[in-house]
Amino acid sequence: MTILKNGTLVTPDGLKKADLAFEGDKIIKIGENLTGETIVDVSGCIVFPGFIDGHTHLDLVNNLGHTADNFETGSRGAVCGGTTTCMDMATQEHGDTLVHTMEVWKDLAQNISCNYGIHMSITDWNETTKAEIQTMAEEGITTYKTYTAYGIAIDDVDTMAVLKELKTVNGICGIHCENGPLIPVLQKEVLESGITSPAGHPISKPDYLEAEAINRVCYIAEIVDSPVHIVHLSSKLGLEEIRAARSRGVTVYAETCPQYLLFNDSVYSRPDGSKWVLSPPIRKDEDIAALHEAVVNGEIGTIATDHCPFNFTLKQSQAAKGFDQIPGGGAGVEHRPVLMMTLFKNELDYVQLNKILSENAAKLFNLYPKKGALLEGSDADITVWDPSVKWTISASNQHQNVDHTPYEGFEVEGKAKYVYVNGQLAVVDGEPTGVQAGTFVRADCN
């Protein structure tokens, strides 16, 4: 039995000065003056439930390239930053089954340092896919993703059918909201105007494309009387559509990402602007301010990364062919916790930070209180956070396998001193121990 002593625990009931004992992969006791075989002094540290990144693409291949990370390297970066569970997007190929897609993802998730769950991305809705929803729930998968854009989008009729079917398993659908038919039209116009550099990317995907799709999705959810989850919210206009839907009684969950809180669209005019080609694009200062306020007041419940890292060398080589040929996606799974701890240090306390980094995601994805909580009986996924450490983010000191970080040079406060995954010590002072204790996390659909 291992005892963490002298730390401040972040519990569902608030901050608590207490000892925490775990054995095997479970927390077994929280109290005072606990004793055990292994005593770890965590004086001065904040003890969190392991952080959960609710939106990753740890191993993705598309027609423009292959991510720099795979499950082994991406999960290593995750745990070094304090994240003990990643919810990864498993994308159904057209004509494939959900069961086979799940098996492919489980085969990819080998030698993994953090736990992983699966968001099943539905790209081909038919009677076979519909019949598999119950099978997926039995396999521990109750969260899904659909798109309103790109070659993997489903139409409004199928979106309504998906939301209706997910109600039968207490499931939730995250939706990538952009107006798909208009994107290629606007891209063509921008390219023909002579703007081929990354500066054309945000022009071709303006905020109203996101807002229109959110509006449409929320009305479909209202028709079905189903909750819906808007992923990687990037704009003030999109936020206003979510507010409008909530005012009508629609249950709408919202996620944003560090990139939308820390950068404005001036990055696309930089020589390395291709690093920020992702979708939706980085927006303007007024969007940053609106999203920041919405995080502070609780309107945005989760912050994930949409970690989808392509090497800068690949992005830059593709940029020469036009901004529409740059693989979309960015790196962030390692740095999300420290960036958010630093950004919100004067506005959110540790209990509130835990909600946006762990607890709310666990509840949304049917993992709570197994994950996202320090409670007796919860899983021993634990992040011991030292708030006194000050350091600078750099590609040279990161552990995710990508040749850059968009957060190069950011001065941050705090670091994961110890990270336990299923009770096994995976990180010491921000460095991996080599332990790969991650497993598949089953959601509870009851």
DSSP string, 37-87: SEEEE-TT-EEEEPEEEEEE-SS-EETTEE-S--HHHHHHHHHHTTEEEEE
Q: Where in the chain is the domain with CATH 2.30.40.10?
A: 2-47+378-432
Instruction: Say if residue 446's pLDDT is above 80.
Output: no
Please report the pLDDT score of residue 102 as a whole number: 97
Q: Which option is the CATH number for 50-364: 2.30.30.90, 3.90.199.10, 3.20.20.10, 3.20.20.140? A: 3.20.20.140
Q: Provide the mean pLDDT of the chain.
A: 97
Contact by Cβ (8 Å): 262, 292: no
Question: Where does the pLDDT of residue 327 fall: very low under 50, low under 70, confident under 90, or very high at 90 and above?
Answer: very high
Phi, psi of 349 (to 5 degrees): -85, 180
Read off the pLDDT band of 26 (50, 70, 90).
very high
How do beta strands 83-91 and 65-66 pair?
unpaired
User: pLDDT-derived band of residue 118, with 50, 70 and 90 as boundaries?
Assistant: very high
Do β-strands 2-5 and 38-41 pair in parallel, antiparallel, or remain unpaired? parallel
Asked if pLDDT for residue 60 goes beyond 90, the answer is: no
pLDDT tens sequence across 172-187: 999 999 999 999 999 9
2-47+378-432 fold = Urease, subunit C; domain 1 (2.30.40)
The pLDDT, as a whole number, for residue 179 is: 98
For residue 145, report the phi and psi dihedrals to the nearest 5 degrees: -140, 140
According to the model, what pLDDT value does residue 62 have?
81
The order of strands in the sheet holding 424-428 is 14-17, 8-11, 46-49, 382-392, 411-421, 424-428, 431-432
pLDDT at residue number 171:
96
Q: Taking 80 as the threshold, does the pLDDT of residue 445 lie above it?
A: no
Q: Is the pLDDT of residue 127 over 80?
A: yes
pLDDT at residue 365 greater than cutoff 80: yes
pLDDT over 70, % of the chain:
100
pTM of the model: 0.98
At 65 the pLDDT is 81
- pLDDT of 15 over the 90 cut: yes
pLDDT, tens digit, 9 for 90 and up, residues 181-240: 999 999 999 999 999 999 999 999 999 999 999 999 999 999 999 999 999 999 999 999
pLDDT value of position 303: 98
pLDDT at 383: 99
Within 10 angstroms of residue 40's Cβ, the number of other Cβ atoms is 18
Tell me the percentage of the chain whose pLDDT exceeds 90: 97
Looking at the chain, the domain(s) classified CATH 3.20.20.140 span: 50-364
State the pLDDT at residue 208: 98
- Asked whether the predicted pLDDT for residue 351 surpasses 90, the reply is yes
